[in-house]
Protein backbone atom coordinates (compact mmCIF):
# COMPACT_ATOMS: atom_id res chain seq x y z
CA UNK A 1 0.00 0.00 0.00
CA UNK A 2 1.84 3.04 -1.31
CA UNK A 3 -0.45 6.00 -1.89
CA UNK A 4 1.77 7.66 -4.49
CA UNK A 5 2.48 4.48 -6.45
CA UNK A 6 -1.18 3.44 -6.27
CA UNK A 7 -2.31 6.76 -7.73
CA UNK A 8 0.49 6.82 -10.28
CA UNK A 9 -0.86 3.51 -11.62
CA UNK A 10 -4.45 4.83 -11.57
CA UNK A 11 -3.41 8.04 -13.35
CA UNK A 12 -1.53 6.17 -16.06
CA UNK A 13 -4.58 3.96 -16.67
CA UNK A 14 -6.64 7.13 -17.00
CA UNK A 15 -4.09 8.64 -19.43
CA UNK A 16 -4.26 5.49 -21.55
CA UNK A 17 -8.05 5.81 -21.74
CA UNK A 18 -7.71 9.46 -22.81
CA UNK A 19 -5.18 8.36 -25.41
CA UNK A 20 -7.57 5.70 -26.73
CA UNK A 21 -10.30 8.36 -27.00
CA UNK A 22 -7.80 10.55 -28.92
CA UNK A 23 -8.03 13.30 -26.31
CA UNK A 24 -4.28 13.25 -25.63
CA UNK A 25 -1.23 11.63 -27.22
CA UNK A 26 1.04 9.52 -25.01
CA UNK A 27 4.73 8.74 -25.50
CA UNK A 28 5.77 5.09 -25.79
CA UNK A 29 7.64 5.29 -22.49
CA UNK A 30 5.66 6.56 -19.51
CA UNK A 31 8.45 6.17 -16.94
CA UNK A 32 8.91 9.92 -16.49
CA UNK A 33 5.28 10.45 -15.44
CA UNK A 34 5.17 10.43 -11.64
CA UNK A 35 2.81 10.92 -8.72
CA UNK A 36 4.82 12.33 -5.82
CA UNK A 37 4.48 14.28 -2.60
CA UNK A 38 3.93 17.97 -3.38
CA UNK A 39 6.58 20.56 -2.56
CA UNK A 40 6.44 21.73 1.05
CA UNK A 41 5.13 25.17 0.08
CA UNK A 42 2.09 23.65 -1.71
CA UNK A 43 -1.05 22.90 0.29
CA UNK A 44 -2.06 19.67 -1.40
CA UNK A 45 -1.76 15.94 -0.84
CA UNK A 46 -0.34 14.66 -4.12
CA UNK A 47 1.46 16.15 -7.11
CA UNK A 48 1.34 14.73 -10.65
CA UNK A 49 3.71 15.90 -13.41
CA UNK A 50 1.88 14.63 -16.51
CA UNK A 51 0.83 18.05 -17.86
CA UNK A 52 4.47 19.13 -18.08
CA UNK A 53 5.61 15.83 -19.63
CA UNK A 54 2.78 15.60 -22.19
CA UNK A 55 2.65 19.24 -23.32
CA UNK A 56 5.34 19.14 -26.02
CA UNK A 57 4.16 15.86 -27.56
CA UNK A 58 0.57 17.16 -27.70
CA UNK A 59 1.67 20.56 -29.06
CA UNK A 60 -0.16 22.36 -26.26
CA UNK A 61 0.90 24.31 -23.22
CA UNK A 62 1.21 22.48 -19.90
CA UNK A 63 -1.75 24.56 -18.70
CA UNK A 64 -3.96 23.34 -21.57
CA UNK A 65 -3.03 19.71 -20.87
CA UNK A 66 -3.57 20.38 -17.16
CA UNK A 67 -7.11 21.61 -17.82
CA UNK A 68 -7.92 18.45 -19.81
CA UNK A 69 -6.51 16.21 -17.07
CA UNK A 70 -8.17 18.19 -14.27
CA UNK A 71 -11.63 17.90 -15.84
CA UNK A 72 -11.22 14.16 -16.42
CA UNK A 73 -9.71 13.44 -13.01
CA UNK A 74 -12.48 15.29 -11.16
CA UNK A 75 -15.05 13.20 -13.05
CA UNK A 76 -13.28 9.89 -12.47
CA UNK A 77 -11.85 10.25 -8.95
CA UNK A 78 -14.68 11.06 -6.55
CA UNK A 79 -12.21 11.17 -3.66
CA UNK A 80 -10.59 14.37 -4.97
CA UNK A 81 -11.69 17.58 -3.30
CA UNK A 82 -9.79 19.78 -5.74
CA UNK A 83 -7.19 19.68 -8.48
CA UNK A 84 -5.00 22.73 -9.05
CA UNK A 85 -2.79 23.35 -12.06
CA UNK A 86 0.58 24.69 -10.94
CA UNK A 87 3.41 25.90 -13.17
CA UNK A 88 5.45 24.52 -14.84
CA UNK A 89 2.93 21.71 -15.42
CA UNK A 90 1.92 19.91 -12.25
CA UNK A 91 -1.49 18.89 -10.99
CA UNK A 92 -1.68 19.35 -7.22
CA UNK A 93 -4.43 17.20 -5.82
CA UNK A 94 -6.23 17.50 -2.49
CA UNK A 95 -8.23 14.56 -1.19
CA UNK A 96 -11.57 14.86 0.58
CA UNK A 97 -11.62 14.43 4.38
CA UNK A 98 -13.57 11.18 4.01
CA UNK A 99 -10.78 9.71 1.89
CA UNK A 100 -8.26 10.27 4.69
CA UNK A 101 -10.46 8.76 7.37
CA UNK A 102 -10.98 5.66 5.21
CA UNK A 103 -7.26 5.47 4.39
CA UNK A 104 -6.25 5.68 8.05
CA UNK A 105 -8.77 2.96 8.92
CA UNK A 106 -7.21 0.74 6.25
CA UNK A 107 -3.82 1.26 7.87
CA UNK A 108 -5.20 0.39 11.29
CA UNK A 109 -7.03 -2.72 10.09
CA UNK A 110 -4.04 -3.90 8.07
CA UNK A 111 -1.48 -2.92 10.69
CA UNK A 112 0.40 -6.22 10.55
CA UNK A 113 0.57 -6.26 6.77
CA UNK A 114 0.50 -2.55 5.93
CA UNK A 115 3.53 -1.65 3.87
CA UNK A 116 4.69 -5.22 3.59
CA UNK A 117 5.39 -6.72 0.23
CA UNK A 118 8.03 -8.45 -1.78
CA UNK A 119 9.85 -5.22 -2.66
CA UNK A 120 10.80 -3.80 0.74
CA UNK A 121 12.41 -6.03 3.34
CA UNK A 122 13.66 -3.67 6.03
CA UNK A 123 12.46 -1.57 8.94
CA UNK A 124 10.05 1.13 7.86
CA UNK A 125 8.51 3.98 9.80
CA UNK A 126 5.20 5.30 8.56
CA UNK A 127 4.19 8.78 9.51
CA UNK A 128 0.88 10.05 8.28
CA UNK A 129 0.25 13.67 9.01
CA UNK A 130 -2.62 15.40 7.30
CA UNK A 131 -2.78 19.08 8.07
CA UNK A 132 -4.44 22.02 6.37
CA UNK A 133 -4.19 25.67 7.32
CA UNK A 134 -7.90 25.79 8.24
CA UNK A 135 -8.10 22.49 10.14
CA UNK A 136 -6.12 19.59 11.38
CA UNK A 137 -7.77 16.34 10.48
CA UNK A 138 -5.41 13.73 11.85
CA UNK A 139 -1.84 13.15 12.81
CA UNK A 140 -0.74 9.58 13.27
CA UNK A 141 2.60 7.99 13.73
CA UNK A 142 2.78 4.33 13.03
CA UNK A 143 5.90 2.33 13.38
CA UNK A 144 6.28 -1.27 12.31
CA UNK A 145 9.18 -3.53 11.70
CA UNK A 146 9.00 -5.76 8.68
CA UNK A 147 11.58 -8.48 8.57
CA UNK A 148 10.67 -11.19 6.12
pLDDT digits (tens, 9 = 90+) for 17-67: 999 999 999 999 999 999 999 988 889 999 999 999 999 999 999 999 999
Residue ranges covered by each domain of the chain: 3-95, 97-144
Residue 136 pLDDT > 50, yes or no? no
Distances from the Cα of 132 to the Cαs of 4, 96, 100, in angstroms? 19, 12, 12
Which pTM value belongs to this model? 0.74
**DSSP secondary structure string, 117-145?**
SSS--S-EEEEEEEEETTEEEEEEEEEE-
Residue 123 pLDDT > 70, yes or no? no
Provide the 10 A C-beta neighbour count for residue 103.
17
Angle at 141 between CA 137 and CA 145, to 5 degrees: 150
CATH architecture of 3-95: 2-Layer Sandwich (3.30)
pLDDT digits (tens, 9 = 90+) for 4-23: 999 999 999 999 999 999 99
Amino acid sequence: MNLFLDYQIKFIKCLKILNTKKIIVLPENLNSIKAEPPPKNQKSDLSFNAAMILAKLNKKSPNEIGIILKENFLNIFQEFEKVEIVKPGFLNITFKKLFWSDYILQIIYKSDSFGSGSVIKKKIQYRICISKSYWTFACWSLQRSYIR
